[in-house]
Amino acid sequence: MASESGKLWGGRFVGAVDPIMEKFNASIAYDRHLWEVDVQGSKAYSRGLEKAGLLTKAEMDQILHGLDKVAEEWAQGTFKLNSNDEDIHTANERRLKELIGATAGKLHTGRSRNDQVVTDLRLWMRQTCSTLSGLLWELIRTMVDRAEARVPVLGFAVHDPSQQDGRGPHPLLHQGIQLRAALRCLQTWPLRRWTSQGSSPFSASTSVPSTGSSLMPQKKNPDSLELIRSKAGRVFGRCAGLLMTLKGLPSTYNKDLQEDKEAVFEVSDTMSAVLQVATGVISTLQIHQENMGQALSPDMLATDLAYYLVRKGMPFRQAHEASGKAVFMAETKGVALNQLSLQELQTISPLFSGDVICVWDYGHSVEQYGALGGTARSSVDWQIRQVRALLQAQQA
């Protein structure tokens, strides 16, 4: 039990601890998040002590009842910390002694705070990962629901329109169901084009993903998506910091590891918020199919024009060059790419023939990619079935 100084380790030392060191050493400001699992661990440990014959049944019951009171105070927000509570373990044991007396001192028999902190964190991580997993599955479920809408969207390459993407609202099923891929799509999408007013193919809900401008009353800013993008930097920064802390540590528990708590708690809170906000964004996102169609332009089919020549037997590098020449010719003449005549195209390559007209079909452009992960309806439907099966298995 704690010494007269209030420290669990105080018997070895004479005199007061330097106040700067005391503050430097304390972790109660953040490891108080572990109060519930610390009580759970202590209750389990007291039962172990009773089985080992180190506590009587009456003593164990007294400790369990006292720990229930400690937990009740934490849950109701009435637990009061004092200046000697350097961490959650000290605080809970100190309060237990106040509630049940000297019997509380037997709880620490054969026990180290190193054991406690490792046990507490493992219990907390199990609970937290379960919660985050549920939020992740809900995001995936929402993404799949929206993917079934089958609204072709624009793909962007270096923030310029490139090709259609037939997989539904853009982040959906981008790289299977991996969260990092789904969020990467949210992070890299040109946000202002995404949600700008007027002819935008998308509009954001005013409740979940957007806020207003302090200057321009008409604006609706996609702040949620921008914050998700920025949170990724903080999360990866925390990871880098923790890896640096772990680098070169000897075996067993070292006090360096106290520094993992703030990182773990912050990342947990961040991920919980990100998953819920992302789910809200996807579920409330309004897709304007008419505007989406108006955003399509024939120059987006330049790659399809190159593939047309490839199917005629031309090597891709030559086909790419030929398609580029067609784009240049259209720009020079001031017409759309699909307005070039067959004769004009044949000045670039004799492989062009009357069936080139099929290239200018946007639906055909999407349906031609039937491979795994492609944009064709059959491919997207297969991907949706796979994710639906995973969702059902997860619920079983």
DSSP characters over 14-80:
-SPPPHHHHHHH--HHHHGGGHHHHHHHHHHHHHHHHHTTSS-HHHHHHHHHHHHHHHHHHHHT---
Q: How far apart (Å, rounded) are the C-alpha atoms in residues 369 and 371?
A: 6
Q: Any idea which residues carry the catalytic annotation?
A: 159, 213
Q: How far apart (Å, rounded) are the C-alpha atoms in residues 391 and 143?
A: 12
Pairing of strands 202-203, 211-212: unpaired
Which stretches within the chain are classed as H helix?
19-25, 28-31, 35-51, 57-76, 88-100, 113-147, 179-188, 191-195, 223-246, 260-284, 289-295, 302-311, 316-333, 342-346, 362-367, 377-395
Burial 219-232 (b: 16+ CB within 10 A, else e): ebbbebbebbbebb
Q: How far apart (Å, rounded) are the C-alpha atoms in residues 120 and 116?
A: 6
Q: How far apart (Å, rounded) are the C-alpha atoms in residues 326 and 306?
A: 10
Angle in degrees, CA 9, 14, 17, rounded to 5: 70
In this structure, the number of other CB atoms found within 10 A of the CB of residue 310 comes to 17
Q: Which of 212, 213, 192 has its CA nearest to residue 203?
A: 192
Place of tokens 């100190």: 94
Q: How far apart (Å, rounded) are the C-alpha atoms in residues 42 and 45?
A: 5
